[in-house]
Amino acid sequence: MSQIAPALEAAPTAVLHTRRRRGVRGKWPIIVLFLPPALVLFTLFVILPMGEAAWYSFYNWNGYGLPTEWIGFKNYELIFKQSAFRNALINNGLIIVVSICVQIPLALWLATMVTKSIKGAVVFRLIFFLPYVLADVAAGMIWRFVYDGEFGLVANIYEFFGQNAPFWLADKNVAFSAVLGVIVWKYFGFHMMLFIAGLQAIDKSVLEAADIDGATGWQKFFKVTLPLLGSTVRLSVFFAVVGSLQLFDMIMPLTGGGPSNSTQTLVTFLYSFGVMRMQVGFGSAVGVVLFVICVTLAFSYKRIFMRND
Amino acid sequence: MTDTAEPIDAATANSGGRSLRFGTKAYLYASLLIVAAIIIIPLITTALGGFKTLGELRGNAFGLPSTWMWSNYGDILMSHRYWLQMGNSLLIAGLTVFLVLALSAMAAFVFAHVRFFGSQFLLNYFLIGLMFPAATAILPLFIRIRDLGLLDTYWGVVLPQVAFGLGMSILLFRNYFRGLPSELFDAAFVDGAGYFRFFWHIALPLSRPIIATVGIISFVGSWNSYILPLIMLNTESRYPWPLGIMVYRGEFSTDWQLILAFITLTITPTIVVFFAAQKHIIAGLTAGAVK
Amino acid sequence: MAGLELRNVAKSYGPVKVIEGINLSIGDGEFVALVGPSGCGKSTILRMIAGLEDITGGQIAIGSEVVNDLTPKERNIAMVFQSYALYPHMNVYRNMAFNLELAGKPKAEIDRRVREAARMLELEPLLDRKPSQLSGGQRQRVAMGRAVVRDPSVFLFDEPLSNLDAKLRVQMRSEIKALHKKVGVTSVYVTHDQVEAMTLADRVVVLDRGVIQQAGSPMELYREPANTFVAGFIGSPAMNLFQATIRGNTAQMADGTTFAFEPDGGASDGTAVTVGVRPEHFQRQKTDTALTGTVSFVEPTGGLTFVTLDVAGVPVVVTTNGEDMIRTGDSLTVYVPSKNVYVFDSGGRRVSRN
Ligand SMILES: Nc1ncnc2c1ncn2[C@@H]1O[C@H](COP(=O)(O)OP(=O)(O)O)[C@@H](O)[C@H]1O
Ligand SMILES: [Mg+2]
């Protein structure tokens, strides 16, 4: 063995690899034992259901027996006719807009502050990240209390000023704005952590070079820091988009999609109109639409904005 | 320390630098404190609210309770349901974490180190799972679980949860395994180890950081999850806590003081664990995003 | 352009004192190297001059103006970082132009100055490239270019060559020297490499643990090291240092070997001292002091061979001509003239004349 070692060391790595792979026996046993468990589970509970959703979506079916009543694209037509669906679509869009225009700038701003060398910076980071760790359901419930017009914090604030408190979550013009507030509250910490990681990856001496080059604080931020955070910003937007399309758990305790469907998201819509009514065909069609939206957005975003990241 | 092997100076790597002006500092702290207050006040008032009477909540939601109603918390802690729900959540999360770790580490190892025809295709196949949430296929999933006779069992929640976690976990594990120094493999193979031995004695013991990351992601996801148990479970005694909260709220609809106490007790474990293991949790939850 | 003056400059991080109180006056156009082992505070001093680090005591003046409270921008200095610190998202041109842009200079002037600097540093073909598309040596040049375009009062270099391979380092060393000749700007150059410091600088300042050990021309430091630290730090291979005791006009080692030297007061009979002899000062011809030992180690480098002698248990490094065929185990006698024997007192200060 000691004789082969120098010879092996001398060989270029690429050659070494192919040789090793050819030389080591027992490649099939490990493939056959290690892959199938994951493969079976994944196929059974992820891939097949997605395919079945596409299949069921052409039927009117309540989930019992076999789907027999073929109705073509009727379910899809129905979806797009529903004003609740349009609300859901618009709401998902709004969540993305608010994420980009409010949440991400807020997260970036806070990230720049808690990466300064000040006392307590780490504690602030923890506090800001805390809502992200809490379960959506718990956060939704807490904010339902906050917004409560009789017992909640909002009620108490209005009372303090001698006013009658409104029930924001019960007002279809206000409810979704209230929900957006909770979304920002719950998720900005995650984006902040991404930005902290991004900021820490910037070579500090580059910023010092900018100091020496005579950049002011703002110039440093906009001409050096921000361009260097480009990939983090794109990543952050990506997660905002993906997160919006999955939003369900937090809406349920807050509003359940109401009042009058003003706070539906795509997933709560699927739940209210597909699952609750056991409309398997219709619900599956909604799932397919959601799938198409997810895949299209994910793909085109990655193509267009994240090519070089 | 050798002189030449010093890529960046201590002074530039450390915080160092010029101290901030007083005005800047005041502005920083003011901003940070305001945001921190917006985060914390809802949480504190929730916890305090659990000590109040309903009547007091109406006029004094912010302040300390005038009399501390320990019984609100006491009753819940004495009740069977709270502990049962915590136990259910723990069991479901535990099973999920174990299966995710086992299945994804094994599969990822094959993708990282065994060359065979179709491996790239199969990897991409798993990555499809990253592109859409479980909700999209929730109805067919429900029917599958029902047809398998797993409805209203823990497995009915665990198996789909594991399946949807595989994409990200396999990716994280594979990248990690790939990043291990290749000399290690050469050395092990020269020493006569086969793939199995190599996986068990070398790759896994070196993978603690990524095991922690994947474990944390899966655990937090399962512990907090709502939609899958909502759809797969019917019997209240099997409910994990997020479902339990909703049921509790349904039962005590306007008895906010009780609901607040219940919420507080259900999120306490999360908060305690978060502060105890913050470094790992933050790293784990953001690692999935960054890598 | 301007001179630079450090008056009793100190720095502490909390309770830890890193710089003890430095006094240093650098003339207009002078090239000064700060040299010392890693962690001795070189970068800290440089960064205080640049305004990147608070000064906790004393004053720094550029020209006649005390700059303690000025921002880096207001100090009109240029700095070359060890990591180069190029802006990764800007091409070479913009990296060099950035400072002028920020200063609001007209486009035409910026262009003229950037191109002039680019020509001087042979960067013209690279102007459109991003830093990631450059080799280490090219990046280093851009970092220099960024410093020269702006016509600063002081140039600061923080180990600018330590990320380059040995050959490039020698080449860039001479380019920096040529550049300084051409532009003549006051320069402070930090390095842990004594050869770099000696070859580049008009004056070398040796630092240890935040204290200036000695400042002087390169040859002064070599010929007249003020203490054992400087003696050991300057010169390669390092000076041999032995424990000895003063006996009249000689210093006697434990094994009885006596070194003749030229005392300069302060060394009375019987005091414990340290004797220093540079490896290159040993010779084969018979003269004042002889040392005999067994060859324990031979390191040929081509022109010169470094031989380690075992003299009664004490290792002694001797530089010999590469053509002398010396083998391990040989017995060898070498000689040293008394003018080349350094003697330091128990505090490390030199007490011999040379
Ligand atoms: N931000 C800091 N906090 C505490 N100590 C520091 C800091 N920066 C540098 N030091 C210490 O100051 C000393 C001098 O550092 P430095 O000037 O970088 O040394 P050099 O450049 O000579 O290698 C070192 O001992 C280092 O550990
Ligand atoms: Mg340094």
CATH of the domain at A119: 1.10.3720.10
Distance C155 CA to ligand 1 centre (A): 21
For residue A132 the two structure tokens come to: 């992200």
- From residue A40, how far is each of A45, A224, B160 by CA, in Å? 8, 49, 12
Please check whether residue C52 is in contact with residue A211, taking contact to mean a CB–CB distance below 8 angstroms: yes
**pLDDT at residue B111 in the model:** 93
CA A203 to chain centre: 29
DSSP annotation of A47 reads I
**pLDDT at residue A299 in the model:** 83
CB-closest option in B6, B12, B17 to C38:
B6
Average per-residue pLDDT for chain B: 87
Q: Is A193 on the interface with C (CB under 8 A)?
A: no
Predicted model pTM: 0.86
Task: Name which of B78-87, B126-135, C123-132, C150-159 the model is least confident about.
Answer: B126-135
Say how many domains are in chain C: 2
**pLDDT at residue B288 in the model:** 65
Q: Do A290 and B231 touch (CB under 8 A)?
A: no
**pLDDT at residue B55 in the model:** 85
pLDDT of B262 above 90: yes
Residue of chain B nearest C13, judged by CA positions: B16
β-sheet bridge partners, residue C314: C311
Distance A301 CA to ligand 2 centre (A): 43
For residue B138 the two structure tokens come to: 């929730």
- Residue type at position C131: P
C251 and C214 inside one domain = no
Q: Do A228 and C78 touch (CB under 8 A)?
A: no
**In the predicted model, what is the mean pLDDT of residues B218-227?**
93
CA dist., res. A137 & res. A253, Å (int): 6
End position of a domain, from candidates C229, C247, C270? C229
Q: Do A224 and C51 touch (CB under 8 A)?
A: no
Nearest CA to ligand 1 atom 5: C13
The helix (run of H) or strand (run of E) holding residue A298 is helix A280-305
Among candidate residues B85, B171, B78, the one with its CA nearest the CA of residue B124? B171
**In the predicted model, what is the mean pLDDT of residues C306-326?**
88
Rounded to a whole number, what is the distance in Å from the CA of B181 to chain A's nearest CA? 12
Phi, psi of A276 (to 5 degrees): -60, -35
Residue of chain B nearest C54, judged by CA positions: B18
Rounded to a whole number, what is the distance in Å from the CA of B6 to chain C's nearest CA? 9
> What are the tens digits of pLDDT across the range C285-296?
888 888 889 999
pLDDT of B67 above 50: yes
**pLDDT at residue C339 in the model:** 87
End position of a domain, from candidates C229, C249, C276? C229
Question: Would you give per-residue pLDDT tens digits along chain A (309 residues)?
Answer: 233 233 322 333 333 344 344 445 678 888 989 999 999 999 999 999 999 999 999 988 888 888 888 888 888 998 998 899 999 999 999 999 999 999 999 999 999 999 988 888 999 999 999 999 999 999 999 999 999 888 889 988 998 898 888 899 999 899 999 999 999 999 999 999 999 999 999 999 999 999 999 998 899 999 999 999 998 999 899 889 988 999 999 999 999 887 999 999 999 999 999 888 888 999 999 999 999 999 898 888 888 877 766
The helix (run of H) or strand (run of E) holding residue A114 is helix A104-114
- From residue B223, how far is each of A135, A136, B151 by CA, in Å? 8, 11, 19
Nearest CA to ligand 1 atom 24: C39
Please check whether residue B101 is in contact with residue B218, taking contact to mean a CB–CB distance below 8 angstroms: yes
A158 against B189, higher pLDDT: A158
Q: Is A215 on the interface with C (CB under 8 A)?
A: yes
**pLDDT at residue B116 in the model:** 87
For residue C29 the two structure tokens come to: 């156009």
> What are the tens digits of pLDDT across the range B43-66?
999 999 999 888 888 888 888 888
CA dist., res. C148 & res. C284, Å (int): 50
For residue B159 the two structure tokens come to: 């198996």
**Pocket around ligand 1 at a 6 A CB cut-off:** B 9-11, 14-16; C 13, 18, 36, 38-44
End position of a domain, from candidates C174, C194, C229? C229
CA A145 to chain centre: 25
Q: Do C99 and A228 touch (CB under 8 A)?
A: no
Flag whether A14 is in a domain.
no
pLDDT of B11 above 70: no
Name all contacts of B1-7 with Cβ < 8 Å and 24+ positions apart.
B1/C38, B1/C39, B2/C38, B3/C37, B3/C38, B3/C192, B3/C193, B4/C162, B6/C38, B6/C162, B7/C83, B7/C163
Specify whether the backbone of C346 is left (phi greater than 0), alpha (psi in -120 to 50) or beta. alpha
For residue C111 the two structure tokens come to: 């262009």
Cβ-count burial of B213 within 10 angstroms (0-12 exposed, 13-18 middle, 19+ buried)?
A: buried
**pLDDT at residue A19 in the model:** 39
CA dist., res. C209 & res. C7, Å (int): 18
Please check whether residue C309 is in contact with residue C296, taking contact to mean a CB–CB distance below 8 angstroms: yes
User: What residues have their beta carbon closer than 5 A to ion ligand 2?
Assistant: B 9; C 43
E strand intervals along chain A: none
This model of the complex carries an ipTM of 0.89
Atom of ligand 1 nearest to the CA of B6: 23
- pLDDT class of C1 with cuts at 50, 70, 90: low
**pLDDT at residue B181 in the model:** 84
Flag whether A242 is in a domain.
yes
DSSP string covering A186-246, please? HHHHHHHHHHHHHHHTS-HHHHHHHHHTT--HHHIIIIIIHHHTHHHHHHHHHHHHHHHHH
Flag whether C256 is in a domain.
yes
**pLDDT at residue B1 in the model:** 32
Distance B153 CA to ligand 1 centre (A): 60
Say how many domains are in chain A: 1
Give residue C319's domain range.
237-344
Q: Do B9 and C162 touch (CB under 8 A)?
A: no
**pLDDT at residue A24 in the model:** 55
**pLDDT at residue C187 in the model:** 94
Q: Spell out which residues of chain B touch residue A194, defining contact as CB-CB under 8 Å.
A: 286, 289-290
Q: Is C72 on the interface with A (CB under 8 A)?
A: yes
- From residue C310, how far is each of C23, C245, C297, C317 by CA, in Å? 42, 20, 9, 9
Rounded to a whole number, what is the distance in Å from the CA of A173 to chain B's nearest CA? 23
β-sheet bridge partners, residue C295: C309
For residue A168 the two structure tokens come to: 């924001």
**Beta-strand relationship, C304-311 and C342-344:** unpaired
Q: Spell out which residues of chain C touch residue B18, defining contact as CB-CB under 8 Å.
A: 51-54
pLDDT of B5 above 60: no
Flag whether A248 is in a domain.
yes
pLDDT of C167 above 90: no
Flag whether C353 is in a domain.
no
C134 and C259 inside one domain = no
**pLDDT at residue C150 in the model:** 85
Q: Do A211 and C83 touch (CB under 8 A)?
A: no
Q: Is B11 on the interface with C (CB under 8 A)?
A: yes
> What are the tens digits of pLDDT across the range C65-102?
999 999 888 899 999 999 999 999 999 999 999 999 99
Q: Do B142 and A252 touch (CB under 8 A)?
A: no
**pLDDT at residue C151 in the model:** 85
Among candidate residues A44, A46, A51, the one with its CA nearest the CA of residue A284? A51
CB-closest option in A5, A39, A287 to B138:
A287
> What are the tens digits of pLDDT across the range B105-114?
999 999 998 8
CATH number for the domain including C56? 3.40.50.300
- pLDDT class of C64 with cuts at 50, 70, 90: confident
Atom of ligand 1 nearest to the CA of C158: 21
DSSP string covering chain B, please? --SSS-SS-HHHHSS-SPPPPHHHHHHHHHHHHHHHHHHHHHHHHHHHHTTS-HHHHHH-SSS--SS--HHHHHHHHHSHHHHHHHHHHHHHHHHHHHHHHHHHHHHHHHHHH---TTHHHHHHHHHGGGSS-GGGGHHHHHHHHHHTT-TTSHHHHHHHHHHHHHHHHHHHHHHHHHHS-HHHHHHHHHTT--HHHHIIIIITGGGHHHHHHHHHHHHHHHHH--HHHHHH---GGG--HHHHHHHHHHHTTT-HHHHHHHHHHHHHHHHHHHHHTHHHHHHHHHHHHH-
CA dist., res. A213 & res. C97, Å (int): 10
Q: Do A291 and B136 touch (CB under 8 A)?
A: yes
**In the predicted model, what is the mean pLDDT of residues C241-270?**
81
CATH number for the domain including C309? 2.40.50.140
Flag whether A254 is in a domain.
yes
**pLDDT at residue B20 in the model:** 79
**pLDDT at residue B290 in the model:** 59
C285 and C143 inside one domain = no
CB-closest option in B1, B8, B12 to C38:
B1
Please check whether residue A137 is in contact with residue B246, taking contact to mean a CB–CB distance below 8 angstroms: yes
DSSP string covering C158-170, please? ESTTTTS-HHHHH
Residue among C9, C18, C54 to mutate when testing ligand 1 (max atoms within 8 A of CB): C18
**pLDDT at residue B146 in the model:** 93
Q: Is B28 on the interface with A (CB under 8 A)?
A: yes
C83 and C195 inside one domain = yes
Report the half-sphere exposure of A199 (CA within 13 A, side-chain side).
Answer: 18
Flag whether A32 is in a domain.
no
C256 and C203 inside one domain = no
First vs last C-alpha separation in chain B: 32
Sign of the dihedral defined by the CA atoms of residues C135, C136, C139, C141, in that order: negative
CA dist., res. C215 & res. C26, Å (int): 11
Q: Which ligand is nearest to the CA of B7?
A: 2
- From residue B247, how far is each of B78, B206, B230 by CA, in Å? 18, 44, 11
Contacts of B18 (CB under 8 A, 6+ apart): C51, C52, C53, C54
**In the predicted model, what is the mean pLDDT of residues C48-68?**
91
**In the predicted model, what is the mean pLDDT of residues C317-328?**
86
C133 and C27 inside one domain = yes
Rounded to a whole number, what is the distance in Å from the CA of A113 to chain B's nearest CA? 7
CA A35 to chain centre: 29
- From residue C87, how far is each of C9, C50, C152 by CA, in Å? 31, 19, 20
Among candidate residues C332, C135, A242, the one with its CA nearest the CA of residue B289? A242
C242 and C106 inside one domain = no
Q: Is A117 on the interface with C (CB under 8 A)?
A: no
For residue C175 the two structure tokens come to: 């380019």
CA dist., res. A60 & res. A69, Å (int): 5
Atom of ligand 1 nearest to the CA of C45: 17
Flag whether A42 is in a domain.
no
* Maximal C-alpha separation, chain A: 91
Please check whether residue A182 is in contact with residue A143, taking contact to mean a CB–CB distance below 8 angstroms: yes
Flag whether A24 is in a domain.
no
CA dist., res. A140 & res. A147, Å (int): 10
pLDDT of B15 above 60: no
**pLDDT at residue A9 in the model:** 29
C280 and C136 inside one domain = no
Give residue A151's domain range.
82-305
Please check whether residue C34 is in contact with residue C188, taking contact to mean a CB–CB distance below 8 angstroms: yes
Flag whether C170 is in a domain.
yes
Q: Spell out which residues of chain C touch residue B5, defining contact as CB-CB under 8 Å.
A: none
Please name the residue that has the structure tokens 């950035």: C98
